Chains A and B, each alone.
Chain A
Amino acid sequence: MPGLPMAPMRVDLGPADPAIRFVAKNMRLDQRLIAEMIEPGSRVLDIGCGDGMLIEHLFHTRGCDARGIEIDMKEVTRAVAHGLPVMQGDADQDLEHYPDGAFDYAVLSRTLQAVERPREVLRQMLRISTRALVSFPNFGHWQMRSQLLLTGRMPNTRTWDRPWFATPNIHPCTIRDFFALCAEEGYAVERWLAVDEAGQKTPWKRSAWFANIFGEQALFLLRKS
């Protein structure tokens, strides 16, 4: 296997700026919503699992065979030292090494916007897993729109809280963009919901248009149609 990277890629911004390759996790917010969508006893791969909280939750409360991939070695060490099956790896590089249909669910929580090839990562997820659970921050939220419109500067909100030069989120998208990609790739959206930053469900479930304006994050359950 030529050209395998030996360490996670970091963008070095000099001493003043921390590395930005890693996505800040707040598993607590997504965990409950994601776990609710997973059948007990399933095989789950959590891609970008952080310190493995979701894995542990799924193992202990739903009897799942849950494993994880995480790019940040510190998080990996923390997870493994906690007894969780996590390996250091990268959504862009490592999914191709799993066999077809190895999992019932592949979870990608608030990571899609930070990968190099989001479409390829989704394809890999739905190759190695029957279903994909994907959450991402919605770039179409009204605050983003209004800030860009009124100030002419890149938006800065509690969800998108880093300046343009220091954000790991290189592929932001809106809820409607994601629907369009699913249609193009032939993925069936089995369930979707828009939530606020605190993970509370917001009541625009029936309308993607409204959700795209008022939802800060989105969570999708996909399978190949």
Chain B
Amino acid sequence: MHIGVAMDSSNEPLSETDHNHVCFADGLTLECGIHLGRLVVAYRTYGTLNQNRSNAILICHALTGDQYVAERHPVTGRGGWWDQVVGPGRPVDTSRYFVICANVLGGCMGSTGPRSLRDDRGADTSPEPWGTDFPPVTIRDMVAAQKRLIDHLGIARLFAVIGGSMGGMQVLEWATTYPDCVFAAVPIATAAFHSAQNIAFNEVGRQAIYADPDWHGGRYWESNRIPARGLAVARMAAHITYLSEQALTRKFGRRLRGGQATGLFGDMFEVESYLRHQGSTFVRRFDANSYLCITRAMDYFDVGFEHDGDLAAAFAGTRTRFCIVSFSSDWLFPTAQSRAIARALNRAAANVSFVEIETDKGHDSFLLDEPDFHRTLLGFLKGCAEHAGLADGADAR
């Protein structure tokens, strides 16, 4: 191997998969003012909605997550991304709660996004995807699309909204935009606005995609290829931010992987091999234009913006019960940002629990086996169920 040898990421287009979805023919008017003529929300549910329709929990996924929370993924064939948290007997117990997760607006697992065929042209033109012409969406738009789904499912109030990272942003958006629809909110490893540092990291990822010759100004479907190298580099850079120095050292150290050294770059450090693997598997399940679209939505996020930065004003009068969770080694969404949310909720006299979980696994901790986190989530939901009058057992059916 020599300098400049690319990763083995295939640049074949993504496979087409049919996702369970609902289509809203009246579309959705976005925050930017543009009206999407047709809104598709792809989603999965687990468990059973009870008679009072009071046991529904909405899970909000992160930047590169999707609706396949607790089941085999139809594209990757791997288990659900939150199998350890959602399922029968898990902290989010599907034998007790009705769990919903929707692919975000702008995503690429069946919901309306840059891969969808555009709906703003006359019937006489041949249909083509939105690509980079897809309107700029915001976290609020994503939540508005989820609200349509919740209404469609006949649920007036969600027992809980739970999400980590960008999912946590959606939780905060739900709690401030539809406060009466959220009994309990669990924003995990998140922030009330995207920091300059995080915008900077996102920009590195976007520039990597733009720089890929296969990107073709976002119209890569025309060449039947995908900007796999650019997207993989974006993923690799982002992946570093999801871990911690300690975790990388513990997992890989300075260990070399295989082969004899034939030149300056003959050997590969294990950490390099790991990142390349992360990059090359990612491009087989994620659309580059979706990545551009969703990272932008995160960058725009600022809950306090409409209140001159006063976060407490955004939560004024809230009756939602909050559980804020951060992780000690998360430097992408550090504890200080969670604490700022907790303090704003204090100023709004809200009912708030706030826990920082001790771990060296960085931002990704919320996806990993963290027993203290799982116990916290379980206990918080149990306490809330008591206050919401959601009894154990029979009538939760």
Inter-subunit contact B376/A1 (CB<8 Å): no
Inter-subunit contact B383/A67 (CB<8 Å): no
Output the residue of B346, B358, B382 with the most chain A CB within 10 A.
B346
Q: Is the interface of B mostly helix, strand, loop or mixed?
A: helix
Closest partner residue, chain A, to B344 (CB atom) = A97
Chain A interface residue count, Cβ-Cβ cutoff 8 angstroms = 24
Inter-subunit contact A86/B353 (CB<8 Å): yes
Determine if A102 is an interface residue (Cβ-Cβ < 8 Å). Answer: yes
- Pick from A65, A81, A87: contact of B379, CB below 8 A: A81
Inter-subunit contact A80/B323 (CB<8 Å): yes
Bound-state CA distance A1–B312 (Å) is 13
Name B312-369 residues within 8 Å CB distance of A.
321, 323-324, 328, 334-336, 339-340, 342-344, 346-349, 351-358
Produce 1/0 per residue, A61-92, CB < 8 A to B: 00001010000010011001111111111000
Inter-subunit contact A87/B372 (CB<8 Å): no
Determine if A120 is an interface residue (Cβ-Cβ < 8 Å). Answer: no
Inter-subunit contact A98/B347 (CB<8 Å): yes
Chain A residues whose CB sits within 8 angstroms of the CB of B343 once the complex forms: 1, 94, 97
Inter-subunit contact B383/A84 (CB<8 Å): yes
Inter-subunit contact A87/B356 (CB<8 Å): no
Closest partner residue, chain A, to B354 (CB atom) = A87
Inter-subunit contact A83/B375 (CB<8 Å): no
Chain A residues whose CB sits within 8 angstroms of the CB of B336 once the complex forms: 4, 6
Inter-subunit contact A81/B378 (CB<8 Å): yes
Inter-subunit contact A73/B355 (CB<8 Å): yes
Inter-subunit contact B353/A85 (CB<8 Å): yes
Inter-subunit contact B349/A4 (CB<8 Å): no
Q: Determine how close the nearest CB of chain A comes to the CB of B9; give it in whole angstroms.
A: 38
Q: Which 9 A-B pairs have the closest CB atoms?
A: A83-B383, A81-B379, A87-B354, A81-B375, A97-B343, A97-B346, A102-B349, A80-B353, A83-B382
Interface residues of B (CB under 8 A from A): 321, 323-324, 328, 334-336, 339-340, 342-344, 346-349, 351-358, 372, 375-376, 378-380, 382-384, 386
14 A-B pairs with CB atoms under 8 Å apart are A4-B339, A65-B351, A73-B356, A80-B355, A81-B375, A81-B376, A82-B379, A83-B383, A84-B383, A85-B353, A86-B353, A87-B342, A87-B353, A87-B355
